[in-house]
Chains A and B, each alone.
Chain A
Amino acid sequence: MRYALLVCNDESADVTPAEQAARFASYTAFADTMLERGVLRDAGVRLRPTITATTVRVRRGDVVIADGPFAETKEQIGGFYLVECEDLDEAIEIASQIPGARFGSIEVRPVWEI
């Protein structure tokens, strides 16, 4: 069985640089352990904050782009893809082809490249 472990946090919370460094170290340690154990495919993905998010929907064949994360609280994450794109336009174009864009919404979030 494969499982997705979604990391949720309050991005508005104030975190001191020391705390930030400690968390980063613990994430690295976690990834190392799990890579060694053979349960992780890669070291995990850290997303940039929601202010960098773009929401893509397809309605009646039109691609509708909105700034920010998806707003419908009745929608829940039902899956995800990790794609390698030239820029946001390419990511939007691919997002608009995900079937779910026609009835739900696709949140496009840049990955924090380390």
Chain B
Amino acid sequence: MSRDAVLVTADWAEEHLDDSDVVLVEVDEDTSAYDKGHIRGAVKLDWKTELQDQVRRDFVNQQQFSELLSAKGISNDDTVVLYGGNNNWFAAYAYWYFKLYGHDKVRLLDGGRKKWELDSRALSEDAVERPATTYQAKEPDLSIRAFRDETVDAIGTKNLVDVRSPDEYAGRLLAPAHLPQEQAQRAGHIPTAASIPWSKAANDDGTFKSDEELKKLYEEAGVDFGKDTIAYCRIGERSSHTWFALHELLDQPNVKNYDGSWTEYGSLVGVPVALGDEPGEA
């Protein structure tokens, strides 16, 4: 798939802000960021309260996703442009949801909120209201979602890509340095997983590196493009960023995001865990 079909530049977004069939959607880790200023006309998705089921440990199902997008005033035919803070981690996560539920016309704003701010582009505090729609999500496309058993079976056979920071991979930390330490019962990584931090796929300003740089990055780190790939992180958001790089930018066909990620894997009883900076044995 060409880069233009999945990414838009800030210039493109600015030129299309008033298009009736283009909807900008902000998704942040810091869910208060939107309220302090957002791109004019953008609606907000709260990844904690709106994209996660509030009872079961899972993300929203097909019906819930349909109801959510209907309430946000997004139609099946709209071009959805996602952006957010943290170098688009949570925007990439939402992008993966949109693809999983069959929304074809979805794009990421390259560089996200950071690039927009560094360019000194305008932000608005005006409330955004869109009339409700009747959005109909499709059946989830599980060809892009990995579950735990498949991930355990992938040890030593498929590419496993751990996109967390080197200290999380080695088991010295359980979460990124600026976030609370929480979740998994054990630290470490899935044996045989390559350590390729998400940040290596992005430039300082949050934009994605070129296709050539990305291909070199993954190949040199040991990803065999002839094999299927599963990416994981702590809770599935940073690995969505890498899933985007591999599946959407490099057009690799069999790449799945394991959204259970280390939070689930590191709490499973009886599965193998590797510690330290090396991938470890199958």
Question: Is this pair of chains taken from one and the same complex?
Answer: no
Binding site for B on A (CB under 8 A): none
Q: Residues on B close to A: CB < 8 A?
A: none
